[in-house]
Amino acid sequence: MKVVIFGSTGRTGKCLIHSALEAGFEVTAFARIPDSVTIRHPRLLLFQGDATVSSSVESAIIGKDAVLSAVGTDLGQTNLRQKAMENMIAAMQKHHIKRIIGIGGMGVLQATNELQIFQTHGFPKEYVPVSQDHNSAYEALNRSGLDFTFVCPPNINDGPKTGNYVVEADYPPKGNFHINTGDLADFMVSELMKREFIGKRVGIASL
């Protein structure tokens, strides 16, 4: 399988590279500064680009079988993930690539049948804009017709794969309020092959 990883220089992105290579994939690591990717492997290609530039995203996606997105946002950027996701979707639709797994935040999951977590009373106000950005990315995927999975973790800790985690569709699972980067990457890469959560948001948490 040939995959392209967006957000490859971030904490989760680096673990995605490792997990995808361990799975035997041919990996393209998309980065604004490719030298920030310190991993070297015969099946790893470094690609310089900007996820907010549609032509750059399209060039990286052509010829791939699937897309993994770990594009991040901070509290000061409220549309980066939406813009990057829209560029990925447009390129995938143009080149008939169906499978994508992205990362949002736990606030995008359902608290009840009627409300998402970021819409509930008591959700920290400072996190609402970034959660809205995550939700806009999810809504773009939901309209896209692609075979998507949108993973919505709680706090992400730097840590290795343990295999001790739980997942649930659309709602946060019963577990701890954190997940290791290694376990998050492990789930995303395994879900590419298992295809158990097509068209779903997925809550994930360590045990």
Q: How much of the chain, in percent, has pLDDT values that exceed 70?
A: 98
d(CA 205, CA 207): 7
d(CA 98, CA 84): 17
pTM of the model: 0.96
> What single DSSP character describes residue 116?
B
- Residues 138-191: tens digit of each pLDDT: 999 999 999 999 999 999 999 999 999 999 999 999 999 999 999 999 999 999
- Residue 72 has a pLDDT of 80
Q: Residue 124, class by beta-carbon neighbours within 10 Å (0-12 exposed, 13-18 middle, 19+ buried)?
A: exposed
Residue 203 bridge partners (DSSP): 152, 168
d(CA 195, CA 74): 29
Does position 73 have pLDDT exceeding 70, yes or no?
no
CATH number at residue 93: 3.40.50.720
Which residue segment(s) compose the domain that 79 sits in?
Answer: 2-206
* Domain count within the chain: 1
- Residues 9-56: tens digit of each pLDDT: 999 999 999 999 999 999 999 999 999 999 999 999 999 999 999 999
Does position 119 have pLDDT exceeding 90, yes or no?
yes
Instruction: Please list, residue by residue across 163-184, b when 16 or more beta carbons sit within 10 angstroms of its beta carbon and e when fewer do.
Output: eebebbebbbbebeeebbbbbb
Does position 60 have pLDDT exceeding 70, yes or no?
yes
Q: What are phi and psi of 156, to 5 degrees?
A: -105, 120
